[in-house]
Amino acid sequence: MKSFSALLALSLLFLSNLALAQKLKADIPYAEPGHERQVLDVYTPVESTKKHLPVMFWIHGGGWQAGDKSDVGLKPKVLTERGFIFVSTNYRLLPGVKMDVLIRDVAKALGWVHGNIARFGGDPERIFVGGHSAGAQLAALICTDDLYLKKENVSFNVLEGCVPVDGDTYDIPKIITTAELRQQLYGGQLPTFGHRQKFGNDPKKHANFSAVTHVAKDKNIPPFLILYFSGNPNTSAQAKCLQEALTKSGIPVESFGKEDSNHRQLNNDLGKNDDPATDKFYQFLDRSIGKKR
């Protein structure tokens, strides 16, 4: 009985420490009038009085059709402990809105962060953008195609870095061609609402929604850390494709493929001790903070 009580006490202490690791202000609207999904969460360090803290703006995955800003794993805890403000955003989803509207939601959320994060102790001039899966495509796109952020009066000058995690759509025409070639060679059914349909079923739109299309010199595109699961041929190839485009344009970029993982686990493990992708993540953040491009 004593051992059970001790175990219970330790469990409660652990949960208490986890809960106190950061303060959460949830469901803040970033559009007025707004849709129920046009909200974001702000996590701040506990009892911190510091100002001008760097900000991590995070975009959830879910195939552009599902997912929620609460799917952040350990990232708010570990990053607020490292002196960050962490922001996780929702956005309207397919098929309720078209892809360009969805992307503009994400840009609008980042615009809200730039205009309001100082009230939470964050620095509007030091923002990192990250995302997983579909969120990786969105993160890479708004950090390379300045059209979206310009509409929100946000310059690439405020972006410290971009961290897309296991995305397969940095070059959308290539992923569509790959899927359709596999189907031709090996048979099987293509999804009725696959990448071709999600991105508008128009080759021009497919190219325009691809981050690689917009990579160019002298745009002040921020440094990139591209994380991917090395056992997935699609995300591995897409990571290489994005890295090559950035490298050719002289934009600092590093990629890291994690073995012994999977698409979801790679994201969920970020923040764990002894996780190699987390080490790369922290090194990138530490290296990028305060550097001027």
Domains, the chain, with CATH or none: 2-171+210-288 (3.40.50.1820)
Average pLDDT value for residue range 243-257 = 98
Q: How confident is the model at residue 102 (pLDDT cuts 50, 70, 90)?
A: very high
Residue 7 reports pLDDT greater than 50: no
Structure confidence at residue 207 as a pLDDT band (50, 70, 90): very high
**What residue spans of 89-232 are helical by DSSP H?**
99-116, 134-142, 147-150, 172-186, 195-198, 203-208, 211-214
Query: Cis peptide leading into 33, omega within 30 of 0?
Result: yes
Rounded to an integer, the average pLDDT of 245-262 is: 98
**In the predicted model, is pLDDT for residue 198 greater than 90?**
yes
| Mean pLDDT computed over 110-125 | 98
Q: Strand 85-89 vs strand 39-45: parallel, antiparallel, or unpaired?
A: antiparallel
- pLDDT class for 199, splitting at 50, 70, 90? very high
> How far apart are alpha carbons 4 and 148 in whole angstroms?
55
The answer to whether the pTM exceeds 0.85 is yes
- Please tell me the predicted confidence (pLDDT) of residue 5: 52
Q: What is the mean pLDDT of residues 212-240?
A: 98
Mean pLDDT of 229-255: 98
* Across 265-293, average pLDDT: 90
More confident residue, 291 or 243: 243
- What would the mean pLDDT of 101-121 be, rounded to a whole number? 98
Percentage, residues of the chain above pLDDT 70: 91
- 18-38 pLDDT tens trace: 444 689 999 999 999 999 999
The pLDDT value recorded for residue 53 is: 97
Residue 131: which residues within 8 A CB-CB, separation 6 or more?
A: 58, 59, 60, 61, 137, 138, 139, 163, 164, 165, 167
* Confidence (pLDDT) at 18: 45
DSSP 222: P
Contact 245, 215 (CB under 8 A): yes
Q: Tens digits of per-residue pLDDT, 177-194?
A: 999 998 889 998 889 999
Tens digits of residue pLDDT in 49-82:
789 999 999 999 999 999 999 999 999 999 999 9
The yes-or-no verdict on residue 1 having pLDDT over 90 is no
